[in-house]
């Protein structure tokens, strides 16, 4: 399960996708397939969460991995190319209907309730 902890050396990946509301259902489907089916089978996957903005135009995916190398190994696995949702997702990116930013992060501070 994802757990924010600045004392734990893990790889955090935050993916943001900006798109019009009308294409968001397809983009969400691809993100759900990643969480529900693909990531779970990858070595080093700790957990993740999927968020959608209130106006329905931004998707944010928060993922945690044991290491950046294991994240990259999963991200680059050829089985992603066989998914119909990957092809639809990439079509939206290539045509400019979706803008994607995926970056790795290190937790440097965290807080918990008193």
For residue 40, being part of any structural domain is answered with yes
Q: Dmax of the chain from CA atoms?
A: 48
Confidence band of 97 (pLDDT split at 50, 70, 90):
very high
Question: What does the block give as tokens for 92?
Answer: 């939206």
What's the structural domain count of the chain?
Answer: 1
For residue 90, being part of any structural domain is answered with yes
For residue 113, being part of any structural domain is answered with no
Per the listing, tokens 């990643």 go with 34
For residue 6, being part of any structural domain is answered with no
Confidence band of 98 (pLDDT split at 50, 70, 90):
very high
For residue 1, being part of any structural domain is answered with no
Residue numbers of the domain that contains 63:
11-105
For residue 20, being part of any structural domain is answered with yes
Query: What mean pLDDT is reported for the chain?
Result: 89
Per-residue model confidence (pLDDT) at position 52: 95
Read off the pLDDT of residues 32-87 as tens digits, 9 standing for 90 and up.
Answer: 988 888 888 899 999 999 999 999 999 999 999 999 999 999 999 998 888 888 88
CB neighbour burial string for 4-28, b if at least 16 within 10 angstroms, e if fewer: eeeeeebbbbebebebeeebbebbb
Nearest to 27 by CA among 58, 49, 2, 1: 58
Confidence band of 1 (pLDDT split at 50, 70, 90):
low
Q: What is the CATH number of the domain that holds 82?
A: 3.30.70.100
For residue 76, being part of any structural domain is answered with yes
Confidence band of 2 (pLDDT split at 50, 70, 90):
low
For residue 19, being part of any structural domain is answered with yes
Per-residue model confidence (pLDDT) at position 62: 93
């Amino acid at each position: 399960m994802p757990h924010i902890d600045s004392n734990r050396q893990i790889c955090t990946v935050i993916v943001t996708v900006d798109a019009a509301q009308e294409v968001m259902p397809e983009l969400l489907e691809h993100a759900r397939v990643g969480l529900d089916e693909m990531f779970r089978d990858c070595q080093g996957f700790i957990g993740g969460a999927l968020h959608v903005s209130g106006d329905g135009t931004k998707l944010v995916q928060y993922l945690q991995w044991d290491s950046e190398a294991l994240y990259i190994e999963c991200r680059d696995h050829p089985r992603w190319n066989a998914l119909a949702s990957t092809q639809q997702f990439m079509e939206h990116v290539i045509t400019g209907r979706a803008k994607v930013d995926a970056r790795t992060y290190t937790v440097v501070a965290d807080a918990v309730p008193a």
